[in-house]
Amino acid sequence: MFENKDEFEKERELAKERAENALADEITQDFLRRREERRSIENGWLLNINFFSGNQYCDVSPYGGLVEEDKRFYWQSRRVFNHIAPTIDSRIAKLEKRKPELRVRAFSDEDGDLMAAKLATGVLKYVQDRIYLADTISKAIVWSETCGTAFYKVVWNEKGGRQVAVDEENNPIYEGETQVTACPPFEIFPDRLDVEDLASVQSLIHAQAVSTEYIFEKFGVHVDGTEISGVFGYSEPTSGKLPMQQSGMSATTLRDGVILLERYTRPSKEFPGGKLEIVAGGKLLYQGELPFVNEERGTKGFPFVKQDSIRLPGAFFAGSVIDRLIPVQRAYNAVRNRKHEFLNRLSMGVLTVEDGSIDVDELAEEGLLPGKVLVYRQGGKAPEMLDCGNIPSEFKDEEEWLEQEFALISGVSELSQHSTPTGVTSATGLQLLLSQDESRLSATITSMDRALKEIGRQILRLYRQFAGSARLMTLTGENKKVEAYYFNAATLTVSDIQFESQEAASPEEKRATLLQLYQAGLLTDENGNLTTENKHRILEAFGFGGYENARDISTLHIAKAGEENLALRQGDVEVDEYDEHGLHITEHTRFLLSAEFKRAKNREDWKKRFLVHIAEHKKSEKKENV
C-alpha cells in the first residue's frame, strides 16, 4: 500500500510511462518487421529509379541493396543510351493531359439536389485551386510510373484556409481546409503484401524522415535526433534503433532527424473508432481513435488513396513499365557499346608486330599518330594492320529490333515519341494508330481516375466533418458569375462523384466530338436552332466561355431568380423593372413544384409570398406587352 496520495500518483505516472514506452517499442519493431518483409520490393524500386536517371550499370545484390557492375576489361565501353527516360516521359505526358475534372452529379432534378450538387462541385473546384491539387497529382504520376504505386494522403489541416479570429493569447484561428500530399511507396508499410487494395489492409504504417524541430512544433515533445542519410530508404542511424539503406542514386543527409511512424488500424469490435498511434525517437507522441470520418456510411478509415500503374495479381504494390524495360535496356546498351568498340577498331586500327622488332611500349603510349616513323629491327617483319572486316549486319538488325521492343513493351509507339511513321498517309490510319497507342494506357488511366474519384469523396467528407455551421466560400457558376456561399456541413450531402466524361478524353478529342455532334444536328432543337445552353457549352469547350457570357444575359436573369427564391423564404421581395419577367416566373414556379418546397415546414407562408411575387411579375409583363 502507498503511504500517501502523492506516491500513488507517482507510481501511476511511472506505470503509464512504462506502458507508453512498451507500445512505442512494439510499433518500432512492427515497422522493422514490415520493412524487412518487403526489402526485395524496395530494391526493385531503387533499381527502377537508377535506370530512369541513367545509372544503368547496377544490379540488386543477392545480399540485398544495389551494387555497381564492374567492367570485364578495362578498355570496355560503358556508355548509357537511355531509352527508358523518354519512354516514361511520354507516358507521364499522356497521363498529365488526361487528368479528369471532378464534378458532382445530382441524384434527381429537384432544386435541392441540384443546388447541393452545384455546391459540392464548387467545393471541389475551390479546394483544387487552393491546395494546388494538380501539382500533387503530377508528383504522384511520376512515382507511380517509376515505382508502380503512389499514394495520396488526404487530411484536414486546422491551420489552413483564411484567418477568421484570434484566441485569448492573440494567436490566429483559421477556418481550416483539406490537405492532399503525394506519398512515395517507400513511406507506406501495410500489414499484408498479398492483397491488392487498401480496403483489405487492416493496419498501415506511414514512415517519414523529419527533423526534431518538426516533432517539437507539432507534438511539443523533445526527441533525440540523429544523422539520417538517404533519400527514400532508411539507413542505420547512430542510435541503432531503425535501419536505413542508401538509395544508390543520390543521397542527401538530414541532420538532427528522426523517423516519424504513424500506425493506422481499422475499426474493430474492440476498437469501434479504430486506432492511430504515432511514435518518433522511441517515444509515443499520440494515441487515440482514427481522426477522420472518410469512408462510406459515416465510418472512419485510412486517410490514404492508392494509385497504380500496372496492377499485379495478389500483390499490394503494383508493377512499373520500367520493370519490363530493364532487360531490353541492358541488351540495347550492350549492342550499342559493342558496335562503338568495333567502330573504334576500324578507325584506330589494330597493329600486329613481331616480338622484339619495335619498341612496343612507345607504340602503346603514343599510338599511330599521322607522320609517325616506325623503326623495326633489321631482318624482322614489318608491322602491319590487322584486317577487322566490316561491321556485321547483325548489329543493325539487333539494334532496330530492340528499339521496337521498347515500343512494344511500354505501349509508347514512335508516333508519340517522334513523328508520323513511314507508310502511313491517311487520316484514318493515323487515328487508328492513336487509338491503339492510347489503349495501352487505359488500365493506368482507369486507376488514376479511380484514385482521383476517391480523393474527391474524402475531400467532401472532411468538409462535412469539419466545415462547421457557418462557412463562407467564393465559387464561380457556369455563367462565370462570382457567388459567395454561406453553408454548413450538413449541406454537403452529395457523394456521388463522376468525371467530366466516362472516358478521360483529351481537349482535342472533346472538341472534335462536339464538332461531329453539331454537324450531325444532335445539338440543335426541333427547328434546327442551337439552344443557348448548348451554344454556351460549345464555346466553353473551345475556351470562349467568357465571350458567350458577355452577350447573353438570360443566365444572369435565371441566377437572379434563384437568389430571389432564397430571399422569398425569409420575406417579401420587390420586382425590378429590368427583370426578364418570363424567366423569373418560370424559375419561381419551378421551385413551387419542387420536392424541397413540398417538404418545407413553412410552405404555406412561402406559398403566399411566392404567389404575390409571381403576380407582380405577371402584372409588369402585361404592362410591357401593352
What are the boundaries of each domain within the chain?
11-68+131-318, 351-385
* Residues making up the chain, counted from first to last: 626
pLDDT of residue 604: 86
d(CA 198, CA 191): 11
pLDDT of residue 519: 77
Q: Where are the alpha helices (DSSP H) in 55-198?
A: 84-97, 111-130, 133-147
Identify the CA nearest to 264 among candidates 233, 282, 289: 289
Mean per-residue pLDDT, 114-121: 76
DSSP 427-461: HHHHHHHHHHHHHTTHHHHHHHHHHHHHHHHHHHH
96, pLDDT greater than 50: yes
**Burial annotation 10-19 (CB, 10 A radius, 16+ → b, else e):** eeeeeeeeee
Q: In this predicted model, what pLDDT tens digit does every residue of 560-606 receive, in sequence order?
A: 888 888 888 888 888 888 888 888 898 888 888 877 778 777 888 88
Bridge-partner residues for 277, per DSSP?
A: 263, 287
**Kindly report the CA angle at 410 between 409 and 413, in degrees rounded to 5?**
100
What type of residue is 344? N
Q: In this predicted model, what pLDDT tens digit does every residue of 378-418 receive, in sequence order?
A: 777 777 666 666 777 777 888 888 888 888 887 776 555 55
| More confident position, 385 or 609 | 609
pLDDT of residue 508: 65
pLDDT of residue 503: 46
350, pLDDT greater than 60: yes
First to last CA, the chain: 100
What average pLDDT does the chain have? 78
SS3 letters across 538-581 = HHHHCCCHHHHHHHCCHHHHHHHHHHHHHHCCCCCCCCCCCCCH
Q: In this predicted model, what pLDDT tens digit does every residue of 464-516 receive, in sequence order?
A: 888 765 565 665 554 445 555 556 666 666 555 665 544 445 566 677 777 77
What type of residue is 31? F
What type of residue is 453? K
Q: Tell me the three cell numbers of residue 295.
A: 469512408
What type of residue is 278? I
